[in-house]
């Protein structure tokens, strides 16, 4: 259904046009931070000693869904961990 | 004849082009499929691949491609009279730029949203990648030199604009920081920033103390300063150094800190600028005083016109935007017509109003001819005339012409400065990539690559000297910029043609503009290199000769590649679709 034209909608549209690249860049920055965090979480399984490993184990259920995209972004076509067979 | 007629006829041709020609291209040539799963959906990741509303995407595409270049070229090219410039902008936009921008978008969408560079190596072969990198390197080098020259000259001619341009930098950093850290909205702070900038421009127009006029500081025009330079040359030299220091810092910062907030403010400025010009045109209803054609031109319009107006008629840079970002955000394949074709029409409209501002500025044809007395004079004066002409148009809205001229020069400098930032950044990436390709490790380091980019750009801006010393010779680079941009457009059109041929479709609508562009580029460069820049001519220039010769080699290379790729039957991984 066509929405009614209003000045508010016009401004929202204008803002959306202009903030498109900016939102993208912020999303990229946040993803980079997340990627680093995931590396820290998986570090022990990748062979980098992590004293907090015991605690990060608790996070697994929360981040396991992101794992596949993460290893693809990190340039590993197949899952680097035997324990996680996502692909 | 009233300038409004030019806008009306131009608008009508753009409309017909979009309504009929782009429809024909979409249905019969590119054969857009509304059910095709675009990369934005296939690889949706919330960062690069995001399905976006077509109006939003068009707005973003248009603000990314429009800048200072579609203003500078037409402002110079009216030297040959307004008719050739208008015809090339209108026909170039409808038959070349529209097809090019639209085509690169579709080609990229059909190939996982990959960029033109990657597609070149896939369609033509690995060598094409290096050729492509060198052409972009050449283009960004020209962009850096030309835009640095444009900004420095405008700072000297319109000192009232300097303050606003410098105020924009801390404002942009503030907006970038507050939005990033506090997740705030950008709209309100950027409008406040714009208001502060324009307020500064208005105040500076009336208060000479606030005008940062280096020529005056150095003792006025004609005064001699250090190293035997006159005041204008010295001012030019200082501005180039300041700009290069700025651009070094700006291009090494993360984009969200300075570049993007600047872009955001500039998008408002684009709308303000277009609004000022078109509304001003409507209210002032100015007469066209420039001659229709110039029979006594010292340089022939053919083929130089086609490289003097690059952006605004056809520009290879658009292909980078189409295939780099827009293709990853296209919601439906059928939206490509609206985003790609209409994006180039938007830029054509900007070029058209730039022509109108210049050709209606002078009270009589004699005054026009006195300022545009030769091609060199036109190249040097064009942009300044545009700014004054735009100021005159805006005065129809009740804004004093001098204030309007200052605001328009702030707009042009802001566009040019953002382009400079992006283009030095791009040059740094390309240098690093070439460093990796040829295993020159130091070049892959950020600061080494940036230093190479900045120093070579500064050298290119400063070395060509005209009769008035530094800064009067930079216009010589404009045809080189136009040519490298056309080369890039040529290679993109070639890729689209090869793709079409391999699909078994009619590729004439893309190959004809490509051949036309390559032919004009070749002719213009041979003419300039052989009859002007070569060492056997009076007033020869080694640097321009070298660049011209490199461009010639690239043009031949592209033509040979084109012939072998079009005639060959290589089959590869490029997506096949009905």
Each residue's pLDDT tens digit, B42-71: 998 888 898 999 998 998 888 888 888 999
Q: What is the pLDDT of residue B474?
A: 67
Instruction: Indicate the DSSP class of residue B472.
Output: S
Interface of A with B in 33-62 (CB under 8 A): none
Q: Is the pLDDT assigned to residue B214 strictly greater than 50?
A: yes
Q: What is the pLDDT of residue A1?
A: 47
**pLDDT, chain B, mean:** 89
Residue of A nearest to B329 (CA): A20
Instruction: Tell me, yes or no, whether A37 lies in a domain.
Output: yes
Q: Do A17 and B55 touch (CB under 8 A)?
A: yes
What are the structural domain ranges in chain B?
3-567
Residue pairs between chains A and B whose CB atoms are closer than 8 Å: 62
* Maximum distance among all Cα pairs of chain A, rounded to whole angstroms: 59
Q: Do B260 and A21 touch (CB under 8 A)?
A: yes
Instruction: Tell me, yes or no, whether A81 lies in a domain.
Output: no
Q: What is the pLDDT of residue B578?
A: 39
Nearest CB neighbour to A28, from listed B47, B263, B325: B47
Within 8 A of A16 by CB-CB distance, chain B residues are: 53, 56
The better pLDDT of the pair B103, B419 is held by: B103
Q: Is the pLDDT assigned to residue B459 strictly greater than 70?
A: yes
Q: What is the pLDDT of residue A19?
A: 80
Q: What is the pLDDT of residue B573?
A: 47
Residues of chain B above pLDDT 70, percent: 97
Picking from B216, B190, B201, the residue whose alpha carbon sits closest to that of residue B166 is: B201
- For residue range B328-344, list pLDDT tens digits in order: 999 999 999 999 999 99
- Cα separation, B430 vs B426, in Å, equals 6
Judge contact between B261 and B176, C-beta under 8 A: yes
Number of domains in chain A: 1
Q: Do B60 and A28 touch (CB under 8 A)?
A: no
Q: Per-residue DSSP letters for A39-66? A: HHHHTTTTT---TTHHHHGGGHHHHGGG
- Helix and strand totals (H; E) in chain A: 4, 0
Residue B467, SS3?
coil
Q: What average pLDDT score do residues B145-171 get?
A: 93
Instruction: Tell me, yes or no, whether A17 lies in a domain.
Output: yes
Q: Do B60 and A29 touch (CB under 8 A)?
A: no
Lowest-confidence pick of A64-73, B72-81, B83-92, B361-370: A64-73
Lowest-confidence pick of B85-99, B249-263, B378-392: B249-263
Q: What is the pLDDT of residue B359?
A: 95
pLDDT bin (cut points 50, 70, 90) of residue B570 is: low
- Cα separation, B264 vs B257, in Å, equals 12
The minimum CA-CA distance between B253 and chain A, rounded to whole Å, is 13
Within 8 A of A21 by CB-CB distance, chain B residues are: 60, 64, 260, 263, 325
Within 8 A of B59 by CB-CB distance, chain A residues are: 14, 17-18
Residue of B nearest to A15 (CA): B187
Question: How far lies B304's CA from each of B84, B357, B544, B552, in Å?
Answer: 11, 22, 16, 15
CA B251 centroid distance within chain: 18
Nearest CB neighbour to A21, from listed B46, B55, B60: B60
In sequence order, which ranges of B285-400 are alpha helices (DSSP H)? 301-308, 317-324, 335-336, 342-359, 365-371, 375-394
Q: Do B59 and A18 touch (CB under 8 A)?
A: yes
CATH number of B3-567: 1.20.1730
Q: The pTM is what? A: 0.89
Q: What is the pLDDT of residue B471?
A: 67
- Tokens representing B279? 């509304």
Range of the domain at A16: 7-73
CA B243 centroid distance within chain: 19
Instruction: Tell me, yes or no, whether A2 lies in a domain.
Output: no
pLDDT bin (cut points 50, 70, 90) of residue B567 is: confident
Picking from B278, B291, B384, B285, the residue whose alpha carbon sits closest to that of residue B82 is: B291
Burial of A70 (0-12, 13-18, 19+ CB in 10 A): buried
Residue of B nearest to A27 (CA): B47
Q: Do B254 and A14 touch (CB under 8 A)?
A: no
Q: What is the pLDDT of residue B577?
A: 43
The minimum CA-CA distance between B402 and chain A, rounded to whole Å, is 30
pLDDT bin (cut points 50, 70, 90) of residue B469 is: low
Q: Is the pLDDT assigned to residue B151 strictly greater than 90?
A: yes
Instruction: Indicate the DSSP class of residue B532.
Output: I
Q: Phi first, then psi: give them for residue B472, nearest 5 degrees.
A: -95, -5
Q: What average pLDDT score do residues A32-56 get?
A: 85
Of B9-18, B184-193, B470-479, give the range with the top mean pLDDT.
B9-18
b vs e for B70-105, b when ≥16 Cβ sit within 10 Å of the residue's Cβ?
bbbbbbbbbbbbbbbbbebbbebbbbbbbbbbbbbb
Interface test with A, best of B60, B275, B324 (most A CBs within 10 A): B60
Judge contact between B358 and B364, C-beta under 8 A: no
Within 8 A of B53 by CB-CB distance, chain A residues are: 16
pLDDT bin (cut points 50, 70, 90) of residue B477 is: confident
Phi-psi region of B439 (alpha: psi -120 to 50; beta: other; left: phi over 0): left
Lowest-confidence pick of A33-47, B71-85, B243-257, B479-493: A33-47
- Cα separation, B148 vs B236, in Å, equals 10
Q: How many Cα atoms sit within 13 Å of B278 on the Cβ side?
A: 15
The residues that bridge with B330 in the sheet, in sequence order, are B52
Q: Do A18 and B264 touch (CB under 8 A)?
A: yes
**Among positive and negative, which fits the CA dihedral B329, B335, B336, B342?**
negative
């Amino acid at each position: 259904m066509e929405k009614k034209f209003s000045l508010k909608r016009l401004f929202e549209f204008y803002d959306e046009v202009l903030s498109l690249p900016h939102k993208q860049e912020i999303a990229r920055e946040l993803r980079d931070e997340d990627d680093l965090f995931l590396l820290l979480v998986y570090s022990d399984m990748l062979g980098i000693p992590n004293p907090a490993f015991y605690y990060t184990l608790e996070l697994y259920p929360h981040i396991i869904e992101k794992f596949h995209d993460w290893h693809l972004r990190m340039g590993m076509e197949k899952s680097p961990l035997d324990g996680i067979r996502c692909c | 004849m009233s300038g409004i007629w030019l806008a009306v006829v131009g608008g009508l041709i753009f409309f017909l082009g979009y309504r009929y020609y782009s429809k024909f291209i979409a249905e019969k040539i590119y054969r857009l499929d509304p059910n095709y799963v675009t990369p934005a959906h296939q690889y949706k990741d919330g960062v690069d691949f995001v399905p976006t509303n077509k109006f939003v995407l068009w707005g973003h595409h248009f603000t990314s491609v429009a800048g200072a270049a579609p203003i500078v070229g037409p402002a110079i090219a009216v030297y040959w009279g307004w008719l050739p410039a208008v015809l090339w902008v209108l026909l170039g936009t409808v038959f070349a730029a529209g097809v090019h921008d639209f085509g690169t978008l579709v080609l990229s969408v059909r190939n996982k949203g990959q960029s033109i560079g990657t597609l070149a190596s896939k369609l033509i072969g690995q060598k094409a990648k290096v050729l492509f990198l060198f052409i972009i390197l050449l283009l960004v080098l020209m962009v850096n030199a030309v835009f640095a020259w444009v900004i420095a000259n405008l700072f000297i001619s319109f000192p009232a604009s300097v303050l606003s341009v410098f105020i924009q930098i801390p404002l942009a950093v503030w907006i970038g920081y507050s939005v990033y850290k506090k997740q705030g909205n950008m709209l309100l702070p950027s409008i406040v920033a714009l208001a502060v900038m324009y307020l500064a421009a208005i105040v500076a127009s009336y208060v000479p103390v606030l005008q940062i006029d280096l020529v005056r500081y150095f003792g006025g025009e004609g005064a001699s300063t250090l190293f035997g330079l006159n005041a204008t040359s010295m001012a030019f030299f200082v501005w180039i150094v300041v700009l290069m220091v700025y651009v070094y810092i700006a291009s090494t910062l993360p984009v969200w800190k300075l570049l993007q907030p600047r872009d955001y403010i500039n998008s408002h400025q684009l709308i303000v600028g277009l609004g000022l010009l078109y509304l001003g045109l409507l209210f002032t209803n100015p007469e066209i005083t420039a001659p229709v054609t110039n029979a006594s031109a010292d340089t022939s319009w053919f083929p130089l016109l086609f490289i003097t107006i690059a952006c605004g008629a056809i520009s290879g840079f658009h292909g980078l935007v189409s295939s780099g970002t827009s293709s990853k955000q296209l919601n439906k394949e059928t939206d490509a017509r609206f985003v790609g074709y209409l994006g180039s029409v938007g830029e054509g409209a900007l070029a058209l109003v730039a022509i109108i501002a210049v050709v209606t500025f002078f009270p009589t044809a004699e005054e026009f001819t006195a300022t545009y007395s030769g091609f060199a004079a036109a190249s040097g004066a064009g942009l300044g005339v545009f700014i004054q002409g735009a100021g005159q148009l805006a005065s129809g809205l009740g804004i004093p012409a001098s204030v309007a001229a200052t605001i328009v020069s702030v707009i042009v400098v802001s566009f040019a400065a953002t382009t400079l930032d992006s283009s030095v950044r791009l040059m740094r990436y390309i240098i690093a990539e070439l460093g990796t390709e040829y295993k020159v490790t130091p070049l892959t380091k950020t600061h080494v690559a940036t230093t190479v980019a900045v120093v070579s750009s500064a050298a290119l801006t400063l070395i060509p000297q005209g009769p008035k010393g530094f800064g009067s010779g930079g216009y010589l680079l404009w045809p080189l910029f136009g040519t490298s941009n056309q080369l890039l457009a040529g290679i993109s059109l070639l890729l689209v043609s090869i793709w079409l041929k391999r699909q078994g479709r009619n590729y004439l609508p893309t190959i004809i503009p490509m051949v036309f562009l390559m032919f004009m580029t070749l002719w213009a460069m041979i003419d300039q290199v052989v009859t002007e820049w070569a060492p056997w001519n009076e007033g020869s220039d080694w640097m321009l000769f070298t660049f011209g010769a490199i461009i010639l080699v690239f043009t031949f290379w592209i033509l040979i590649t084109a012939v072998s790729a079009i005639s060959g039957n290589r089959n590869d991984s490029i997506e096949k679709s009905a």
